[in-house]
Amino acid sequence: MPRRLLEIADLQPDELRGILDTAAFFKKSSYRGQELAGKTLALLFEKPSLRTRTTLEVAALHLGGHAVYLDNRQVALGVREPVKDVALNLGRWVEGIAARVNKHEAVVELAEFSGIPVINALSDTHHPLQALADLLTLQERFGRLEGLRLAYVGDGNNVLASLLEAAALAGIEVTVSTPEGYEPPPALMERAGAQLVRDPMQAVRGADAVYTDVWVSMGQEEETQRRLRDFSGYTVTPEMMRIAGERAIFLHCLPAHYGEEVVEEVVYGPQSAVFDQAENRLHTAKAVLAGLIGGRPWSA
């Protein structure tokens, strides 16, 4: 079992399968356990959060543990003191760290020097906890993962990077539709066997799931006007969902910017699975914490 989860690529296929199976069991049984009894998780957050913070805190509580929230005003990674020093301190006090950071290098350094399990709760290049919830949602809706076709429409960001890594392990076919200049790294596309299609309407045709995310991520606010122009035509609409097909589901990691990457009618429409997806952030977080910090085997 790995001692860290910085990106989905840290996992083997059987470990990914085991996390999803454990999360499904936790959800079905409304599981409460003691895997984290007497243990503390540090939530080291440089960026604000609703879903990630809440689900990690509740997950720790459901497993008998405790979470300590440390925001950027209290810690200021690399400003108030070096990341290495923060890691060495936290490693003496707590049993695990979940870090939501501006730069991926910070979470790598935390893992290198803390000596305890570290979970990437979002960085500029990866969002593994979100990808786990995405796969659990797909598994629930379709009863399988291998052979599904997912169309991702929008920015080739950290959410897509983790989704591509997860798809590579799970056997999901991904079609990516982004404007020119917003593609994910070619090596990542190749590893996932993903196809790039510029026309979003063509990309979603016959897909099992249509996924999008915000066009302007945290830290990109100065690029807002340029991005809104560049992504014109990439809004997920009811028409786009009709082209995907009536059995297709809609996914979004939230928060949504209505009228930009998606219209509100789709999020609250009959094909939407976004709130199941958000709920599954809790169950997958519990599975990750139970394994990495609590030592519970992931049952594949």
Structural domains of the chain ordered from first start? 4-127+281-292 (3.40.50.1370), 129-278 (3.40.50.1370)
Residue 212: pLDDT over 60: yes
Which of 124, 130, 227, 271 does the annotation list as catalytic?
130
Predicted pLDDT at 79: 81
Predicted pLDDT at 3: 83
Known active-site residue 253: yes
76-132 confidence digits (pLDDT tens): 787 889 999 999 999 999 999 999 999 999 999 999 999 999 999 999 999 999 999
Which of 53, 104, 213, 296 does the annotation list as catalytic?
213
> pLDDT-based confidence at 1, cuts 50/70/90?
low
Known active-site residue 10: no
Predicted pLDDT at 43: 98
Nearest-angstrom CA–CA distance, 151 and 135: 14
> pLDDT-based confidence at 299, cuts 50/70/90?
low
Answering whether pTM is above 0.85, one says: yes
Which of 134, 139, 253, 283 does the annotation list as catalytic?
253
Residue 217: pLDDT over 90: no
Which of 53, 281, 283, 296 does the annotation list as catalytic?
281
Residue 300: pLDDT over 70: no
Q: What is the 3-state secondary structure (H, E, C) of the chain?
A: CCCEECCHHHCCHHHHHHHHHHHHHHHHHCCCCCCCCCCEEEEEECCCCCHHHHHHHHHHHHCCCEEEEEECCCCCECCCECHHHHHHHHHHHCCEEEEECCCHHHHHHHHHHHCCCEEEEECCCCCHHHHHHHHHHHHHHHCCCCCCEEEEECCCCHHHHHHHHHHHHHCCEEEEECCCCCCCCHHHHHHHCCEECCCHHHHHCCCCEEEECCCCCCCCHHHHHHHHHHCCCCCECHHHHHHHCCCCEEEECCCCCECCCECHHHHCCCCECHHHHHHHHHHHHHHHHHHHCCCCCCCC
Known active-site residue 127: yes
Residues of the chain above pLDDT 90, percent: 92
Predicted pLDDT at 78: 75
* Partner residues linked to 232 by β-bridges: none
Known active-site residue 66: no
Known active-site residue 92: no
Which of 4, 127, 227, 296 does the annotation list as catalytic?
127
228-284 confidence digits (pLDDT tens): 999 999 999 999 999 999 999 999 999 999 999 999 999 999 999 999 999 999 999
Which of 100, 227, 252, 296 does the annotation list as catalytic?
100
> pLDDT-based confidence at 2, cuts 50/70/90?
low
Known active-site residue 257: no
Structure-model confidence comparison of residues 243 and 224, the more confident one: 243
